[in-house]
Amino acid sequence: MTSRAVVKIGTSSVTDEVGGVDQAVLNRIADDVVSLARDGVEVVVVTSGAITAGWADVGRGRARPRDAVTLQAVSAVGQPLLMQSWREAFARGGRGVGQVLLSPLDFSHRGQYLRARATLEALWSLDVVPVVNENDAVADEEIRFGDNDRIAALVANLVGAEHLLLLTDTPGLLTADPRLDPSATLIEEVSAIDASLVEIAGVSRSGVGSGGMASKLAAARMATWSGVTTVIAGARAEHPVRAALGEVGAGTVFRPRPERLAARKAWIAFAVPSRGVLRINQGALQALLHHGRSLLRVGVVGHDGAFVEGDAVEVRGPDGVLVAKGLVRVAAADLDGGDDVVVHRDDLVVLRSR
């Protein structure tokens, strides 16, 4: 049995048809998490639903707003309602809950990243279940995550989880949209996420969440690169968490890559926002892909962005395809001339297959 897991549940599963919190669903998830905790499994719950729950409370039958400021205010109403429901769900099993609201800064800034990990681990030491959500009420619309699938994948890497469960309103990844193709069947196992899978992933089917299957595939890719087994499964099963962890056919399982990224490199690859692009020549491409070298100035043929030393940048090959991501040692203004190291191999993550 896994020793750490992250369980994410989407808005359409957390809430009922009128937008209120679906307590029965939360109860079933909490029962499973408490049961796992008794077996020594530490679980983080990542929850969506604050905006939808908040609007159900204050909307009074009006159309749901679209502007960011109102939605952020509504999330401030819904977040305590959502947490109270989680508190009631876990109280049935004698467990407390701790609210952890995260923003992109908590992942992109290394010090904040480590403090977030320490907070989650401290909650576990107190026999308290961490319940994570994005800090929607104050998040800058330009830098917010926008969906909790990505947050869940980042948290899985943050705490070194073995499993990431993405619970949703479908039984997993299907071969087609069942609304359009009644013969659609469940894809039980995925060893690699390719273009064909991305093509069949649709947008949010419920219209109330910000994710959808495409965001779940992106989260699965992030997690599997970090060595985390990921499962997309239905949230309304009798034992949704236990089933997804242990039953064949209970969802779609994404197997981790054989070469797990070290925690710091996974942080560089997926948590830190890119501030620019480096375009490299064929020689540099071969050095990165086949020889594990650092990126030197001589291999850089162009760049975009006003990045400074320590910023993360994308590295793209002569064909424009993403090759790697890394932390630069040279600011954009100082790139001309010399053979100095631009991105050291210790700060570089190769994202393109050889």
Residues for the chain: how many in total? 354
Q: Which range, of 20-29, 42-51, 245-254, averages the lowest pLDDT?
A: 245-254
Backbone angles phi, psi at 56, to 5 degrees: -60, -30
Using CA atoms, how far apart are residues 255 and 275, in angstroms rounded to an integer? Answer: 31
- Give the pLDDT of residue 4: 96
Residues 312-341 pLDDT 10s: 999 999 999 999 999 999 999 999 866 699
Using CA atoms, how far apart are residues 237 and 24, in angstroms rounded to an integer? Answer: 11
DSSP β-ladder status, 189-190 and 128-134: unpaired
Residues 44-95 pLDDT 10s: 999 999 999 999 999 988 999 988 889 889 999 999 999 999 999 999 999 9
Q: Which long-range contacts (CB under 8 A, 24 or more apart) does 333-339 make?
A: 333/306, 335/297, 335/300, 335/303, 337/297, 338/297, 339/296, 339/297, 339/298
Arithmetic mean of pLDDT over the chain: 88
Q: How many of the other CB atoms lie within 10 Å of CB of 31?
A: 19
Let me know: does 196 contact 176? Beta carbons within 8 Å: no
Backbone angles phi, psi at 54, to 5 degrees: -65, -40
> Tokens 């992030």 correspond to what residue?
222
Using CA atoms, how far apart are residues 222 and 266, in angstroms rounded to an integer? Answer: 8
Domain boundaries, the chain: 4-263, 274-350
Average pLDDT over residues 298-318: 95
- Give the pLDDT of residue 239: 93
Q: How many of the other CB atoms lie within 10 Å of CB of 296?
A: 17
The answer to whether the 4-263 and 274-350 domains have the same CATH topology is no
Amino acid letter, 278? L
Which one, of 245, 209, 211, 230, lies nearest residue 153 by Cα? 230
Average pLDDT over residues 221-238: 92
Domain 274-350's class?
mainly beta
Residues 133-191 pLDDT 10s: 988 776 655 445 557 898 999 999 999 999 999 999 889 988 887 778 888 899 999 98
Let me know: does 181 contact 24? Beta carbons within 8 Å: no
> Tokens 């297959």 correspond to what residue?
353
Using CA atoms, how far apart are residues 117 and 115, in angstroms rounded to an integer? Answer: 5
CATH number of 4-263: 3.40.1160.10
